[in-house]
């Protein structure tokens, strides 16, 4: 069983085995899967005697600093390596400009679960049925014993836990549970990881949450909801953009709301919008007209204008979309 096709898996394993020096990179603004899968793979390869560097353009968010190996993530690329592994994204640009411009590697291997039109690496293991990149790394890990220790398991468990929203999202499959079950059997303590990821927030984040929830706006149809965050709120609570992670789930959690979004002020009359769908509306399609992108249930774009007007415009757009979807039923 498993998602990886044996032929491609063999190619990936050959590339890994023949490399002595490896750089593992992932997308900017890294989440639990980007970091858990990167650090998990790094530990496997180090346990097999390879020189491994884990690169990310951005710093590790506070909720993932506990991950084994997180203190060794660097934001500088070395001069060269044998193999570059790009995880949880398939375009070099998603990992930032420095990686995009870098050509110090001899081969590249991409492991990802986002659908993409044009994967850029030499070898591509891209399976959108995987709940997380961590699930694909797990399939390599079981072949790469004895590199697969408890620290690897903790990283992969975190990757799967966070990308499935604690096994609540529609991407949680029998395989996600089976892999998580095996990771727990290998010694991972679910409550330990849960506390680190979800129950160790700085008090500043709760204060920011209170301010953001005050902004709640609900569309006349009651099927869309919005919140926003400003520089003034960050200043008042001693926080920054890193602390907004997950806040958008609050407006989406309202009964009847199909689409929720959060606006983040990045300048005068200039906002970054994040969207979440409950599943009916494709928010990636909704934002294409605004030059945005993403997935069916999570997308983003940038818009300029008066915030109240932008929110009303998006509320109207969601209504139109819902009416269109429901008249097709
Ligand atoms: Mn992922």
Q: Is residue 69 part of a domain?
A: yes
C-alpha span between 24 and 147 (Å, rounded): 16
160 Cα to the center of ligand 1, angstroms = 8
183 Cα to the center of ligand 1, angstroms = 18
296 Cα to the center of ligand 1, angstroms = 14
Instruction: Check whether residue 220 and residue 175 sit in a common domain.
Output: no
113 Cα to the center of ligand 1, angstroms = 6
Instruction: Check whether residue 59 and residue 97 sit in a common domain.
Output: yes
Of the pLDDT bands very low, low, confident and very high (cuts 50, 70, 90), residue 142 is very high
235 Cα to the center of ligand 1, angstroms = 31
Instruction: Check whether residue 180 and residue 295 sit in a common domain.
Output: no
| Torsion sign (Cα): 118, 122, 126, 132 | negative
Per-residue pLDDT, averaged over 20-32, amounts to 96
Predicted model pTM: 0.88
C-alpha span between 229 and 205 (Å, rounded): 12
Q: How does DSSP assign 185-248, residue by residue?
A: HTT--HHHHHHHHHS---HHHHHHHHHHHHT-EE-TTSSEEEEEE-HHHHHHHT--GGGGTTTT
Domain final residue pick, 183, 198, 213: 198
Instruction: Check whether residue 255 and residue 278 sit in a common domain.
Output: yes
Q: Is residue 63 part of a domain?
A: yes
Domain final residue pick, 147, 178, 198: 198
Instruction: Check whether residue 13 and residue 151 sit in a common domain.
Output: yes
Q: Is residue 1 part of a domain?
A: no
Q: Is residue 96 part of a domain?
A: yes
256 Cα to the center of ligand 1, angstroms = 27
Domain final residue pick, 151, 173, 198: 198
167 Cα to the center of ligand 1, angstroms = 13
Instruction: Check whether residue 68 and residue 90 sit in a common domain.
Output: yes
129 Cα to the center of ligand 1, angstroms = 11
Instruction: Check whether residue 131 and residue 76 sit in a common domain.
Output: yes
pLDDT above 90 as % of the chain: 90
Question: Does residue 241 have a pLDDT over 80?
Answer: yes
Tokens of 308: 């109240």
238 Cα to the center of ligand 1, angstroms = 29
135 Cα to the center of ligand 1, angstroms = 9
What's the length of the chain? Answer: 329
Per-residue pLDDT, averaged over 145-151, amounts to 92
Tokens of 256: 């009847």
C-alpha span between 35 and 285 (Å, rounded): 28
Asked if residues 164 and 174 have their Cβ atoms less than 8 Å apart, the reply is: no
Of the pLDDT bands very low, low, confident and very high (cuts 50, 70, 90), residue 289 is confident
C-alpha span between 151 and 67 (Å, rounded): 8
In 3D, which of 105, 89, 101 has the Cα closest to residue 22? 105
State pLDDT tens for residues 33-86.
999 999 999 999 999 999 999 999 999 998 999 999 999 999 999 999 999 999
298 Cα to the center of ligand 1, angstroms = 12
100 Cα to the center of ligand 1, angstroms = 20
33 Cα to the center of ligand 1, angstroms = 5
27 Cα to the center of ligand 1, angstroms = 10
181 Cα to the center of ligand 1, angstroms = 19
Instruction: Check whether residue 215 and residue 269 sit in a common domain.
Output: yes
Upstream peptide bond of 24 is cis (omega within 30 degrees of 0): no
Instruction: Check whether residue 180 and residue 34 sit in a common domain.
Output: yes
Q: Between residues 190 and 118, which one has the greater pLDDT?
A: 190
Instruction: Check whether residue 224 and residue 262 sit in a common domain.
Output: yes
The CA–CA distances, whole Å, from 186 to 140, 161, 189, 316 equal 16, 16, 9, 50
284 Cα to the center of ligand 1, angstroms = 17
34 Cα to the center of ligand 1, angstroms = 6
Q: For residue 294, what pLDDT is reported? A: 80
- Which residues contact residue 12 at a Cβ distance below 8 angstroms, ignoring those fewer than 6 apart? 4, 109, 111, 123, 125, 140
Question: Does residue 237 have a pLDDT over 90?
Answer: yes
C-alpha span between 184 and 158 (Å, rounded): 11
88 Cα to the center of ligand 1, angstroms = 5
- Structural domain that includes position 315: 203-327
Asked if residues 272 and 302 have their Cβ atoms less than 8 Å apart, the reply is: yes
The CA–CA distances, whole Å, from 128 to 163, 174, 187, 326 equal 13, 15, 28, 27
Lowest mean pLDDT among 115-129, 233-247, 274-288: 115-129
Q: For residue 329, what pLDDT is reported? A: 67
**150-163 vs 190-198: helix axis angle to the nearest 10?**
60
Q: For residue 2, what pLDDT is reported? A: 86
5 Cα to the center of ligand 1, angstroms = 19
The domain that contains 107 carries what CATH number?
A: 3.90.1640.10
In 3D, which of 189, 190, 155 has the Cα closest to residue 41? 155
Instruction: Check whether residue 154 and residue 22 sit in a common domain.
Output: yes
Domains identified in the chain, total number: 2
Asked if residues 38 and 87 have their Cβ atoms less than 8 Å apart, the reply is: yes
Tokens of 146: 């004895």
- Please classify residue 59 by burial: count the beta carbons closer than 10 Å to its beta carbon, then call 0-12 exposed, 13-18 middle and 19+ buried: exposed
Beta bridge partners of 303: 271
pLDDT above 70 as % of the chain: 99
């Amino acid at each position: 069983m498993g998602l990886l096709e044996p032929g491609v898996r063999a190619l990936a394993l050959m590339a890994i085995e023949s490399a002595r020096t490896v750089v593992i990179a992932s997308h900017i603004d890294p989440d639990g899967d980007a970091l858990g899968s990167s650090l998990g793979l790094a530990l496997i390869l180090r346990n097999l005697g390879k020189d491994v560097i884990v690169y990310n353009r951005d710093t590790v968010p506070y909720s993932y600093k506990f991950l084994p190996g997180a203190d060794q993530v660097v934001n500088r690329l070395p001069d060269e390596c044998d193999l570059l592994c790009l995880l949880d994204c398939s375009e070099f640009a998603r990992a930032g400009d420095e990686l995009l411009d870098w050509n110090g590697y001899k081969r590249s291997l991409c492991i990802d679960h986002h659908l993409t039109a044009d994967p850029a690496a030499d070898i591509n293991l891209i399976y959108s049925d995987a709940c997380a990149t961590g699930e694909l790394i797990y399939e390599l890990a079981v072949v790469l014993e004895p590199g697969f220790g408890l620290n690897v398991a903790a990283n992969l468990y975190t990757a799967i836990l966070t990308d499935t929203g604690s096994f609540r999202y529609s991407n949680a499959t029998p395989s996600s549970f089976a892999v998580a079950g095996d990771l727990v059997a290998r010694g991972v303590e679910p409550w330990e990881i849960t506390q680190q990821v979800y129950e160790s927030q700085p008090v500043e984040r709760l204060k920011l949450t209170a301010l953001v929830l005050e902004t709640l706006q609900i569309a006349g149809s009651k099927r869309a909801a919005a919140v926003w965050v400003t520089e003034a709120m960050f200043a008042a609570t001693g926080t920054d953009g890193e602390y907004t992670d997950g806040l958008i789930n609050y407006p989406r959690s309202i009964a009847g709301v199909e689409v929720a979004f959060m606006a983040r002020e990045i300048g005068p009359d200039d906002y970054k919008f994040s969207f979440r769908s409950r599943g009916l509306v494709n928010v990636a399609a909704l934002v294409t007209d605004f030059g945005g992108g993403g997935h069916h249930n999570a997308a983003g774009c940038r818009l300029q204008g008066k915030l109240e007007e932008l929110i009303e415009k998006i509320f109207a757009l969601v209504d139109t979309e819902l009416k269109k979807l429901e008249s097709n039923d």
